Structure 1
Amino acid sequence: MTTTAISAGRSRTHMAVLVMLGLTHLLNDLMQSLIPAAYPILQKAYALDFVQIGMITLTFQIAGSLLQPVMGMVTDKHPTPYSPVVGMMFTLSGLVSLAFAQSYGGILVSVALIGIGSSIFHPEATRMARYAAGGRQGLAQGIFQVGGQAGGALGPVFAALIIVPLGQPSLAWFAAAALAAMMLLTWIGSKQRQISAEFAAMRSAGKKDGRSYIRHAPLTVGIGLTVLTLLTFSKNAYNESFRTFYTFYLMERFGLSIPSAQMMLFIFLAAAAIGVLIGGILGDRIGRYRVIWISVLGPLPLTLILPYADLFWTGVLTVLINLIMASAFASILIYAIELLPNRIGLIGGLFYGLNFGLGGIAAAILGGLADSYGVEAIYRICSFLPLAGLLTWFLPRIDEGR
């Protein structure tokens, strides 16, 4: 039978906790985004080719992906409210190590530490966002993810203003962001017992009223997670072409300076911050299924035009593409949680891990293509990736028929 996760009553939405979670996500992803933002400097200092740059991304994102599902499964059985603080310690050590790395191998070790820190942060933070949401899951994930997207967008700005003028050692200054995040995460961890108790009471009240979460058939879960994974890969592969290679594309095709290209990257990434929040809110109103259709397949006409646009329209199109495409992730994540509502940590770890792992694989492949055919060629190839949105047709309908 068709099953759905039916709201089991409502607990109050803890906006203060959600805002703090969004802020810590901002700081976490800001520190992550400094890695690709520093690529032009690292390329010049170490004479790196595009394959080596892609391998830096792959190392960082694989380290960030492998542990996340494991951490999610562990925290599902044994919630650890202060584990994100530990994760931030790894990020702090990786950032300082990267600032003073003297070799390509040192760079790889440093970015791996940052990836491990992120893998510890996301599963438990996702659980807290779920618990603190009350009955407004889309809004909660939107706030949490808008923090991450905003942090990712700020990386190129700090690169243009600080890292490019002052060099690689200036990365160590951002250790202050890790320390601030650790303090905020300690406060959030102190609230988990109260918030999780309210969430459990909401679930219990739903069971008494006959509105509890219904267990989905294994086939439904398998098909749903497979489709969502493929959609995530297509979205991340396209996004990675920008995160890793957009500055090189702008510098090569339009002759922009590094700071100007970094500011263009900031504008592109800032659009994602707006998109995830809009997507989360729309998902609460019109259903996750419709949002996924629109956000994954919708950018196709724009991506096909982009490789042939001039500088002005390149800026306009990249903003529109990321605004639409970014709106998918909140709905994809909540859709997956509704398929397995008792495995919040696992789903959070799996899908944030997929963001890292699949993006890293895409970056390595695209790096090889860039070396062989040029940076401009990867945008012509990637322009067809939104066609994967047609896979949404096979996604099980679990959002109450909307």
Structure 2
Amino acid sequence: MTRSVGLLAVGHAGVDIYQGAVPAVVPFLVLERHYGYVAVSGVVLAATLLSSIVQPVFGALTDRVRMPWAIPVSMTTAGLGVALCGVGDSYPLTWLAVALSGLGVAAYHPEAARLARAASGGSHLAMSWFSLGGNIGFALAPVVVAPILSAGGLAASPWLFIPALLGGLVTVAALRSITAATGSAAAGPARRGTDDWPVFLRLTAIIIFRSIVYIGLSAFVALWVQQRSGGGETAGAVALFVLFAGGAVGTLLGGRLASSWGRTRTLRLAYAATIPAMAGVVWAPGVSVYVFVALVAVLLYVPFSLHVTLGQDYLPNRIGTASGVTLGLAVSVGGIATPVLGLVAELADLRTALATLLMFPVLAWLLARTLPEPAVLETAGSR
């Protein structure tokens, strides 16, 4: 892994803290403002809906215009939104603040992934390290959010802007490093080949199914584990940390397994194993639920960086578009389904809502069986 990819990975952690911060804020919204399941799922939707819609647009834009400057700007925007979400007690203003954070996240991922691809020389192992940065950011979110909000309540949310400032400084250093190495931070590797849109769209559907499971679980796992274990906000924060930290393990594991088994085979095995693991989250008794939360997190993130490199190889002439969909959409679009889960939880119960997520790894596994292994990255990815 090059120094540039390492710095971009640290910056990736800085921005993805704010994706993990939104679920981490949910228990405090329930405690202080007495929001119901539908209300808190609406807040999660705010972080993901705008991001899901505009992220592919940003990706297409980066295929035409290089915008490295947008990376630190979008990172600070993501931090500002979360920092403002606890100011005041208006639900619409909270929703808009979280939506602003989602917009920043949307602008970040396509250009950052394009630069990481250029800096890594096309290696999916190096890309797994870049993706790992985001997973670490997710894992750090409850560790950062819970102590601050436990001490000062939602009114302390402006302190959550600090990681954005630090991540922005690291990202500026990464851009300078890439400029020194290539002569231009906007430069990217020349790509050849034919864009395979039908296969890419099948991969996109897999990403959407995965995202529905992960975002739905991240929105409600803290409340679910509190119910199962009889613990308070700390038990919920631990569950989120397990979920997000397991993702970091899965990302590195995915890069290793893909080197031995191939990417598409790794995808199929991961999604097949997710099915019983998710059943364990729903029905495991007591504190044993933590084990299955960790298993689901690892298994859902084994394919994460592989989605990115597969998408970039299926669309070799549209790296920004592929990155915007596979890296950005992967962690945002599932929020669109979260209000439906919230409604099911209010009409029935939270277990029923989580049980409905079981169908999506099944669908992802079935579609993953139709994906071909691109020949392009077999040589590039082994570097």
Q: What is the TM-score normalised by the length of structure 1?
A: 0.87
In 1, distance between residues paired with 2:10 and 2:279?
A: 35
In 1, distance between residues paired with 2:17 and 2:185?
A: 30
Shift of 1:213: 3.3
Checking the alignment, whether the CA contact within 8 Å between 1:161 and 1:259 is kept in structure 2 is: no
In 2, distance between residues paired with 1:249 and 1:169?
A: 25
Give the match for residue 158 of structure 1. Answer: 144
In structure 1, the gaps of 5 or more residues are 1-12, 205-211
Give the match for residue 372 of structure 2. Answer: 396
Q: 1:162 to 1:401 in 2, by over 3 A?
A: closer
Which moved further from structure 2: 61-70 or 50-59?
61-70
Give the match for residue 214 of structure 1. Answer: 193
In 2, distance between residues paired with 1:201 and 1:51?
A: 45
Q: 1:83 to 1:199 in 2, by over 3 A?
A: closer
Checking the alignment, whether the CA contact within 8 Å between 1:142 and 1:281 is kept in structure 2 is: no
Give the match for residue 344 of structure 1. Answer: 319
In structure 2, the residue corresponding to 1:226 is in which secondary structure? Answer: helix
1:279 aligns with 2:254: yes
Choose which of 43, 57, 65 in structure 2 pairs with 1:70: 57
Give the match for residue 117 of structure 2. Answer: 130
1:37 aligns with 2:28: no
Number of corresponding residues: 377
1:188 aligns with 2:174: yes
Give the match for residue 7 of structure 1. Answer: none
Checking the alignment, whether the CA contact within 8 Å between 2:84 and 2:157 is kept in structure 1 is: no
In 1, distance between residues paired with 2:52 and 2:165?
A: 23
Checking the alignment, whether the CA contact within 8 Å between 1:231 and 1:296 is kept in structure 2 is: no
Shift of 1:350: 1.9
Shift of 1:379: 2.4
Shift of 1:202: 9.8
Give the match for residue 217 of structure 2. Answer: 242
Checking the alignment, whether the CA contact within 8 Å between 1:60 and 1:111 is kept in structure 2 is: yes
In structure 2, the residue corresponding to 1:394 is in which secondary structure? Answer: coil
**Counterpart of 1:144 in structure 2: which amino acid?**
F
Shift of 1:143: 0.9
Shift of 1:400: 7.1
Q: 1:190 to 1:25 in 2, by over 3 A?
A: same
In 2, distance between residues paired with 1:119 and 1:400?
A: 27
In 1, distance between residues paired with 2:211 and 2:32?
A: 28
Choose which of 94, 103, 110 in structure 1 pairs with 2:90: 103
Shift of 1:93: 2.6
1:277-316 equivalences in 2 (<5 Å): 277-316=252-291
Which moved further from structure 2: 94-103 or 37-46?
94-103
Q: 1:84 to 1:198 in 2, by over 3 A?
A: closer
In 2, distance between residues paired with 1:245 and 1:351?
A: 24
Shift of 1:239: 1.1
Q: 1:302 to 1:89 in 2, by over 3 A?
A: closer
1:19 aligns with 2:6: yes
Give the match for residue 107 of structure 2. Answer: 120
Give the match for residue 161 of structure 2. Answer: 175
Shift of 1:304: 2.5
Deviation string, structure 1 residues 19-59 (Cα, Å, up to 9, x no partner)? 11111111111123222111111123222111111111111
In structure 2, the gaps of 5 or more residues are 379-383
Q: 1:110 to 1:202 in 2, by over 3 A?
A: closer
Shift of 1:160: 3.0
In 1, distance between residues paired with 2:204 and 2:5?
A: 26
Q: What is the TM-score normalised by the length of structure 2?
A: 0.91
Shift of 1:175: 1.5
In 1, distance between residues paired with 2:313 and 2:257?
A: 17
Q: 1:200 to 1:233 in 2, by over 3 A?
A: closer
Quote the RMSD (CA, aligned, Å). Answer: 2.4
Give the match for residue 381 of structure 2. Answer: none
Shift of 1:357: 4.3
Choose which of 235, 240, 248 in structure 2 pairs with 1:260: 235
The structure 1 segments of at least 4 consecutive aligned residues displaced by more than 3 Å after TM superposition are 191-204, 399-402
Deviation string, structure 1 residues 187-231 (Cα, Å, up to 9, x no partner)? 222234455569999966xxxxxxx73224xxxx23212221221
Bigger radius of gyration among the two: 1
Percent of paired sites with the same residue:
26
In 2, distance between residues paired with 1:401 and 1:89?
A: 33
Q: 1:390 to 1:399 in 2, by over 3 A?
A: farther
Shift of 1:283: 2.1
Which moved further from structure 2: 272-281 or 159-168?
159-168
Shift of 1:87: 0.6
Give the match for residue 133 of structure 2. Answer: 147
Shift of 1:366: 0.9
Q: 1:307 to 1:107 in 2, by over 3 A?
A: same
Choose which of 224, 227, 241 in structure 1 pairs with 2:202: 227
In 2, distance between residues paired with 1:387 and 1:196?
A: 43
In 2, distance between residues paired with 1:314 and 1:399?
A: 40
Choose which of 317, 329, 332 in structure 1 pairs with 2:304: 329
Which moved further from structure 2: 303-312 or 256-265?
303-312
**Counterpart of 2:156 in structure 1: which amino acid?**
S
Give the match for residue 9 of structure 1. Answer: none
Checking the alignment, whether the CA contact within 8 Å between 2:66 and 2:186 is kept in structure 1 is: no
Q: 1:395 to 1:24 in 2, by over 3 A?
A: same
**Counterpart of 1:49 in structure 2: which amino acid?**
G
